[in-house]
Each structure stands twice: as structure tokens, then as C-alpha cells.
Amino acid sequence: MLTVETRYAIDPDTAKTLDTAGLRQHFHASGLFEEGRINLIYTHYDRLILGGAVPGSGELVLDEVKEAGTSSLLDRRELGILNIGEAGTVKAGGETYQVGKGDVLYIGMGSGPVTFSGPGRFYILSAPAHRTCPSRLITVKDARRVELGSAETSNKRVILQFLHPEVAESCQLLMGYTQFAPGSVWNTMPAHVHDRRMEAYLYFELGPDQRVFHFMGKPEETRHLVMANEDAVVSPPWSIHCGAGTGAYTFCWAMAGDNVDFTDMDMVAMGDLR
């Protein structure tokens, strides 16, 4: 029912020696959403955990994860859950939440086991926490909307912020997703890095023949990963993270690290990219 894979931190000098298979082994993740299972990746980048839970016709319980070193995952962690499927149910801390498609559920430290049921496809993100913040369901209409870009630059998009200081309190986890208008494909360009936080992306709402080219690496030493529907990528703090798709798509972004300042980023000039 539970599978956990560990990903160790890679420095930029090592990363630039990797071929395509090596880059995918360390930074790319697929197959997270498997019916009847919880599949997690435990990273050594700010100890972020990402994964998927697809209950199907039964229930899935997320409790002890050996890699976290506690009797229950949420003993010293917080959790963010995005439902990218049909409406489903999550139980935690004595409460039951009906999580619709596109909604995000925040579960605070100390909430105990988490139970998933129903037809949802739940994307899971967890970061270490040093205090307990209130658990809360944030619906799509509750999210903070930031509209950016234009059709002329192929990046007309809306950023929906859920775990964000102006929407819902968290300890260190920031989380939301970005949706593109038809005909727009570029995300996070001009590129940036934020050396104080790592980031993880989940690309979804792609067609079977659609792909996103995710760019990573130091600004002067860029690489790329080809992403299919429901593929995820781990982005180190030293790496840019931007991409372009063969059509419009949605991606979930999540960050953990020193702060929860969404605007804390170091911009990279277009002329500095190589």
C-alpha cells in the first residue's frame, strides 16, 4: 500500500556531468498515481516529501513513514494535499473533509494518521514543521488569483495561491498551481532561482501526446527534462525552473526552505541563460 523512494541532494557540479538517464533518475518522477497505493518520494532537499494517493474503491491510510523517523508522519511535519481527480474524502485529526477537484487541504503538525477515500487523485506534499498551524480546506474560490502574461508572449496564465501567507497559514510549506490559457505554453520565464528554498513541480492536465519541456540547471549551464501528464520534478535551490509545453497545461508548485515569501527570488536575465 505504501512505497517510499529516497532522493539524495545533488550539487550543480555533479548535475552537469549527468546524461539524460542520470538527470531523470535524480530529478524526474513518474508513476506517483497508482490505484490502491500511496507512492512517496522522500527528498534531501529541505526534507520535502512528494507523492500521490489514489484510493479507488477502498481506503488508504498514511501514517508511519520510516524515512521520517517518527511513529506517525505528522508528528513533526505538515501536509498539503491537492486533489487533481474527482471529489474525494480525507480524514485527519478527527475531522472529515470533502476535497473537490482543484481544492487544497492543509493538515497541521500533530494531526495523526491521514485516511484517503473516494475517486480522488491526491497529490501529497509534506515538509518538516516546528509549530502547529490550523488544518483547513482551501477551495478553488478561496485561493488568491494572480493573472500574469499575455497571449502575445505565449504565457497568459493565472497563478492560484493556496498555502500562502495571504490565504492560509502554514509553517514553511508554500503551495499552489498555475493554469495556462489556450495557446499559452511558457511558465516562469524570465527564469529565476531562489537559493533559500527548493521547489517541486507536478505537471498535469496534459493530453496523452502532449509534453512539457522543463528546464533546469545553473543559468549558465541549462538542461531539460521531458515531462508527461502527472510527472513531477524536484528542483534544487541552485537550479532555474521554467518550461514550455506543446499546448496549455497546469502545474502545481510547492516550496520549502527558509521562508514563506513567495516573491523571494533572484531573477535571471534572458541574456545570461546558456
Question: Which residue, 157, 121, 145, is CA-closest to 250?
Answer: 157
CB 125 within 8 A of CB 200: yes
pTM strictly above 0.95 = yes
* Whether pLDDT at 247 is above 90: yes
pLDDT at 71: 98
Confidence of residue 217 (pLDDT cuts 50, 70, 90): very high
pLDDT at 266: 87
Question: Which residue, 120, 128, 116, is CA-closest to 103?
Answer: 120
Please report the sign of the dihedral spanned by the C-alpha atoms of residue 51, residue 133, residue 196, residue 263: positive
Mean pLDDT of 136-140: 98
pLDDT at 68: 97
Mean pLDDT of 231-237: 97
pLDDT at 262: 85
Mean pLDDT of 61-74: 98
Rounded CA gap, 41 and 34, in Å?
14
pLDDT at 235: 97
Read off the DSSP letter of residue 183.
T
pLDDT at 189: 86
Rounded CA gap, 257 and 274, in Å?
27
Question: Which residue, 162, 114, 112, is CA-closest to 132?
Answer: 112
* Whether pLDDT at 25 is above 90: yes
pLDDT at 214: 98
pLDDT at 211: 98
The percent of residues above 90 in pLDDT, for the chain, comes to: 93
Mean pLDDT of 109-119: 98
Confidence of residue 230 (pLDDT cuts 50, 70, 90): very high
CA angle 269, 272, 274 (to 5 degrees): 130
Mean model confidence pLDDT for the chain: 96
Residue scoring higher pLDDT (15 or 259): 15
Cβ neighbours of residue 13 under 8 Å, at least 6 residues apart? Answer: none
pLDDT at 57: 93
pLDDT at 260: 87
Rounded CA gap, 90 and 81, in Å?
9
pLDDT at 8: 97
The percent of residues above 70 in pLDDT, for the chain, comes to: 100
pLDDT at 181: 96
CB 116 within 8 A of CB 123: no
* Whether pLDDT at 265 is above 90: no
Question: Which residue, 191, 176, 198, 194, is CA-closest to 27?
Answer: 198
Ranges 13-17, 97-101, 131-135, 258-262: which has the least confidence? 258-262
